[in-house]
Amino acid sequence: MICVAGLGVSGTAAARAMAARGEKVVVIEGKESERARAAAAELAEAGVEVRFGAPAGLPDGTRLVVTTGWPPHHPLLLAAAEDGIEVVSEVELAWRLRPEGAAPWLALTGTNGKTTVVRMLTSMLTAAGHRALAVGNVGTPVVEAVTGPWDVLAVELSSFQLHRSPSLAPHAAALLNVAPDHLDWHGSLEEYARAKGEIFARAGTIVHNADDEWPVRLAGPYGEHGRVVGFTLDVPRPGQIGVVDDLLVDRAFVADPVRNAEELASFADVRPFAPHNVANALAAAALARSYGVPAEAVRRGLLDFVPDPHRIAHVARVGEVDYVDDSKATNPHAAAASLAAYPSIVWVAGGQLKGADVDDLVRRAAPRLRGAVLLGVDRERIRQALARHAENVPVVEVPGQDTGVMDRVVTEAARLAAPGDTVLLAPAGASLDMYAGYPARGEAFARAVHRLVTRHDGGRE
């Protein structure tokens, strides 16, 4: 008996995969919804039983539990541990189900930037002529992809997935950054970072952010056991990929890293341009180069890359003021990267901080802030941080959760902005206090900006 914990996309895929192999499968799902009932009906046709509600215990005869993000302290997983039953992630299951000669994995994780990097990487691999697919936390479950006709898989992994993946051994693995997130799940920053660092344990090539303390620390022990490659926004040393003037340069995957370097791309090839997006491009390039992708395919991959929505996306220019949607900046680390990309900002922030501290974010951003407009459940905590570290910055709070909130936010931001400023939605918090998700928040912002365009000078920007 295989017990699958969770009826999300990856749980459904895991259940279907095991049923196709003749296993008896029971899926446990705590929340019943229309989508979940539809998924259960489809699985029933494959012989999979779905049980809704809080589980009384493990199904009789369970020999393996596949979890899709349930926290370690969940009673079902604790019961499995007490009974000596192995618990693995859907990613670990996929690794074990790979057929002989299956596509190698280029895996990556980090607090921020994962989806951008995995899509850049896939674009580079495709430009080099490889049949490549982005999988994992980005969308397509890995368990569905491992039997497909792919040359190589670009695998985005969360800390939840890595926590239960004890045999994963990718061709190369990258850690982009580590900042406080999901601490309620892991219990501490140290445990969260440790889970992220698990991606290195059995990797052939280890790629780490040489400008970030935690990746450097976590990659350190592997320096004597295989190829360790750093990426940096500084001039690269031998064994690194980095930046020289406005060029992305490789001093790791060249014949003589001490004496030689190879140009991979330029800043003009990185879109949208921002320092943290250059770092994303460097990480993707390092993984691609580990798989033998030539320099010209790295550049072509960056040029072909289409950014996902709500990631430093330019919405409009109104009266010499730019409006930018980075609703995906759902934690302080992501917001800090976004704020660092612009010299003079009216900051639109707020939402669910999930216990994260914003003092360091505000302290660093203060010289760039012309004003701030705050919304959402934790806006008062951001206002207090601004009072402590940016006391001369004008702040407007916009209360409420009605559909007109974002219009009022954009109107206030426009009032604070001067020619040359950027009105930047980089909330530093999650969105579920007001919206269905960060995309809905970004779309509300964009709609409000377009209404501002219509009002401005009779609709002329």
| Cα–chain center distance at 405 | 27
Distances (CA, A) of 150 to 32, 95, 132, 167: 35, 15, 6, 21
Distances (CA, A) of 331 to 79, 260, 338, 361: 33, 39, 11, 10
| CA distance linking residue 39 with residue 7, whole number of Å | 8
Distances (CA, A) of 14 to 66, 108, 143, 145: 8, 21, 6, 11
Was 111 annotated as part of a binding site?
Answer: yes
Was 392 annotated as part of a binding site?
Answer: no
Closest by Cα among 147, 140, 92 to 115? 140
DSSP string, 234-294: SPPPTTEEEEETTEEEESSSSS-TTT--EEEEEGGGSSS--HHHHHHHHHHHHHHHHTT--
Q: Which residues pair with 430 in a beta bridge?
A: 352
333 in Cβ contact with 179 (< 8 Å): yes
List the Cα angle 246/249/252 in 5-degree steps.
Answer: 160
Was 114 annotated as part of a binding site?
Answer: yes
139 in Cβ contact with 65 (< 8 Å): no
Question: In the 8-state DSSP scheme, what is residue 221?
Answer: G
| CA distance linking residue 242 with residue 250, whole number of Å | 7
Was 116 annotated as part of a binding site?
Answer: yes
Was 113 annotated as part of a binding site?
Answer: yes
Give the position of tokens 């095991």. 18
State the burial class of residue 460 (Cβ atoms within 10 Å of its Cβ: 0-12, 13-18, 19+).
exposed
| CA distance linking residue 151 with residue 183, whole number of Å | 36
381 contacts: CB under 8 Å, gap ≥ 6: 353, 358
Q: Identify whether 309 is preceded by a cis peptide bond (ω within 30 of 0).
A: no
CB count, 10 Å around CB of 86?
A: 13
Indicate the pairing of strand 321-325 with strand 313-318: antiparallel
Give the residue numbers of the binding site.
110-116
Give the residue numbers of the binding site for ATP.
110-116
